[in-house]
Chain A
Amino acid sequence: RKEVEQDPGPFNVPEGATVAFNCTYSNSASQSFFWYRQDCRKEPKLLMSVYSSGNEDGRFTAQLNRASQYISLLIRDSKLSDSATYLCVVNREYSGGGADGLTFGKGTHLIIQP
C-alpha cells in the first residue's frame, strides 16, 4: 500500500462550486498532517495544517479521521485562482533530537473553470 494515496484527478469544477479531496495514509504512527498547494513547476506551499478536531481557514476546511487514516480538504466557493495541485502530506512520529522528512502524496489536480 502506498504511504500517502490521493486521487490524481483532474477535478474539473465550475467557479463557485464546492469541491472535496480525500487522502489516505498507511503509517498509523503519522502524527502531523498537512495540505500543500503546488502550482505548475513551482515549489509546494503550505495551505493548512490538519488537526484532529478539524479546522477551517476561510473557504478551506480540513478534516482528519485517525481511525480510518483518512484526511480530507473541502474548498467552498471555488475561485479560478484555486486551480493547482493539492498535496496531502504526513509526518511520522517525531522522535526528538532531529527532523523527520515529510511524506507527500502525488497530489490531486484541480481545474476551476469559468
Chain B
Amino acid sequence: EPEVTQTPSHQVTQMGQEVILRCVPISNHLYFYWYRQILGQKVEFLVSFYNNEISEKSEIFDDQFSVERPDGSNFTLKIRSTKLEDSAMYFCASTFGASNEKLFFGSGTQLSVL
C-alpha cells in the first residue's frame, strides 16, 4: 500500500534554531496537510496546501511557520525560530480529493526543543 513518508523520525534542536521537517506525500495525491500532537493532547490541524498554495491555516500556524513544495515530491514544514512549546509530534498527511475521505498520515516526526 502506498504511504506517506516523513523524515527524520526524531529531531532534537535548541530553542531559537530553525528546523525543517520533510514529507513525501503519496505520489498522485493533490492535497497536503501538517498536523501536530503535543504529548497527551489531541491532534491539531496546522495547515493545508493545494495547487502550490496554502488553502487554510490554523491560529497555531503563525509567522514562524512556513510550508513549501520545493519539487514534485517533497512537502516541507519549516519552523523559523523554535520555542519550547513547539515540542510535539508533527504528522504530514495527504489525500487525493478535498473531502478528506481517505486521508493518509505519515508516521510523524517527534520534535524536541531544548
Interface residues of A (CB under 8 A from B): 32, 34, 38, 41-46, 49, 87, 91, 94, 96-107
Contact = CB atoms under 8 A, between A and B. Distances in A.
A49 B99 CA distance: 11
Query: B interface, by DSSP: helix, strand, loop or mixed?
Result: strand
A53 to B, nearest CB: 16
Interface string B23-47: 0000000010101000001111111
A87 B43 contact: yes
Contacts of B31: 99
B42 A107 contact: yes
Contacts, number: 69
A101 B56 contact: yes
A46 B99 CA distance: 14
B107 A42 contact: yes
A44 B95 CA distance: 14
Interface of B: 31, 33, 35, 41-50, 55-56, 58, 89, 91, 95, 98-103, 105-108
Nearest to B47: A101
A97 B31 CA distance: 11
Contact of A46 (B49, B89, B103, B108): B103
A43 B35 CA distance: 10
Which 4 A-B pairs have CB atoms at the shortest separation, nearest pair first? A101-B45, A98-B55, A43-B105, A99-B48
A101 B48 contact: yes
